[in-house]
C-alpha cells in the first residue's frame, strides 16, 4: 500500500491528505469550496473555514484520504455507531466504521474509520481503490443477495470490523455491519463474509471462487 501524505495547518488544526488514497470523490470540494480548491496551490487552506465546518467535511471523505488533528482540543473523529459497507455502482466498496485491515498473519496493515476497498481487481494500491475501475471500464451494479447474510443472527451493533486480506483471493469481513446497495437496500448483519476483490465474481459483492479461474494476483 502506497502513502504520500501532505499536511496543511492553521492555528487550530492540522489537516493531512494522502494523495494515493484520494479518488476525487469531491465531497471536500462540494462541502467547502473555499478550503478545498484544486485550481489553487496549496489546494487546501484550512484557515478559510471554521474548525467545526472543516472537521465535519473531512469526516465525509469516503476514501480516508483526509484526516485531521486538533491542536487545542482532544476531540477526534468517532466511528459511527454501526459499521457500514456501501457498494458503489461500477466502483469500490466504501466502509465507514472501526475498520482494522489485517494480513493472514494477523499483522495490522491499516486502522481507519473510512476506507474505499478496490473491488475491480485492478488498483495499483490494493487493497484500496485508486480509481483504476474508471480506466478499466469496470461495471457492477449495487445489488446483493440479502439471504446470504441472514444465515447467522445479528450479534450486536458497531465495534471493530475486521478485514482479513487473503493472498490472490477475497477479503473476509468479520463484525457487525450494515450492507447497503441502492439496488437492494440495507441489510443489518453480523455475518462473516468473503467479499470479491478480483472483479469477476458472478455473485458480487461476495466472492464465488472465480478469482482462482482468472488467476487473480494480489498480496
58 vs 196, which CB is nearer to ligand FES?
196
Tell me, letter by letter, the H, E, C secondary structure of 144-165.
CCHHHHCCCCCCCCCCEEEEEE
Cβ-count burial of 170 within 10 angstroms (0-12 exposed, 13-18 middle, 19+ buried)?
Answer: buried
Instruction: Please choose, out of 42-50, 56-64, 131-139, 206-214, the segment that lies near ligand FES by the rule CB under 6 A.
Output: 206-214
Q: With binding defined as CB under 6 A, does residue 210 bind ligand FES?
A: yes
CB of 212 vs ligand FES, minimal distance in Å = 8
Q: With binding defined as CB under 6 A, does residue 117 bind ligand SF4?
A: no
Pairing assessment for the beta strands 177-181 and 83-87 based on DSSP bridges: parallel
**# of chain residues touching ligand FES (CB under 6 A):** 12
From ligand SF4, ligand FES, none, interface partner of 85 (C-beta below 5 to 8 A by class) = none
Q: With binding defined as CB under 6 A, does residue 207 bind ligand FES?
A: yes
CB 56 within 8 A of CB 15: no
Name residue, grid cell 478545498: 36
67 vs 211, which CB is nearer to ligand FES?
211
Q: With binding defined as CB under 6 A, does residue 169 bind ligand FES?
A: yes
Instruction: Please choose, out of 19-27, 82-90, 97-105, 175-183, the segment that lies near ligand SF4 by the rule CB under 6 A.
Output: 19-27
Q: With binding defined as CB under 6 A, does residue 44 bind ligand SF4?
A: no
Q: Please give the backbone phi and psi of residue 56, each rounded to the nearest 5 degrees, phi first.
A: -65, -40
Which of 13, 15, 23, 165 forms a contact with ligand SF4 (CB under 6 A)?
Answer: 23
In DSSP terms, 171 is beta-bridged to 165, 195
Using CB under 6 A as the binding rule, the residues of this chain from 126 to 165 that contact ligand SF4 are none
**Which alpha helices (H) appear in the chain, and where do they start and end?**
27-31, 51-58, 132-136, 210-214
Name residue, grid cell 489546494: 43
Amino acid at each position: 500500500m502506497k502513502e504520500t501524505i501532505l499536511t496543511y495547518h492553521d492555528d487550530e488544526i492540522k489537516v493531512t491528505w494522502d494523495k494515493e488514497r484520494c479518488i476525487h470523490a469531491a465531497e471536500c470540494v462540494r462541502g467547502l469550496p473555499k478550503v478545498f480548491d484544486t485550481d489553487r496551490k496549496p489546494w487546501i487552506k484550512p484557515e478559510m473555514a471554521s474548525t467545526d465546518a472543516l472537521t465535519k467535511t473531512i469526516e465525509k471523505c469516503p476514501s480516508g484520504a483526509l484526516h485531521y488533528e486538533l491542536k487545542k482540543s482532544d476531540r477526534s473523529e468517532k466511528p459511527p455507531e454501526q459499521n457500514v459497507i456501501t457498494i458503489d455502482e461500477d466502483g469500490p466498496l466504501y466502509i465507514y466504521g472501526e475498520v482494522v485491515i489485517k494480513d493472514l498473519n494477523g499483522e495490522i496493515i491499516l486502522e481507519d474509520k473510512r476506507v474505499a476497498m478496490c473491488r475491480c481487481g485492478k488498483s495499483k494500491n490494493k487493497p484500496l481503490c485508486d480509481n483504476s475501475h474508471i480506466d478499466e471500464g469496470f461495471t457492477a451494479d449495487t445489488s446483493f443477495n440479502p439471504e446470504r447474510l441472514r444465515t447467522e443472527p445479528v450479534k450486536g451493533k458497531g465495534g471493530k470490523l475486521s478485514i482479513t486480506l487473503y493472498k490472490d483471493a477475497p477479503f473476509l469481513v468479520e463484525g457487525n455491519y450494515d450492507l447497503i446497495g441502492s439496488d437492494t437496500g440495507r441489510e443489518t448483519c453480523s455475518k462473516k463474509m468473503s467479499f470479491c476483490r478480483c472483479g469477476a465474481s458472478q455473485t458480487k459483492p461476495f466472492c464465488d471462487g472465480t478469482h482462482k479461474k482468472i488467476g487473480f494476483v494480489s498480496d
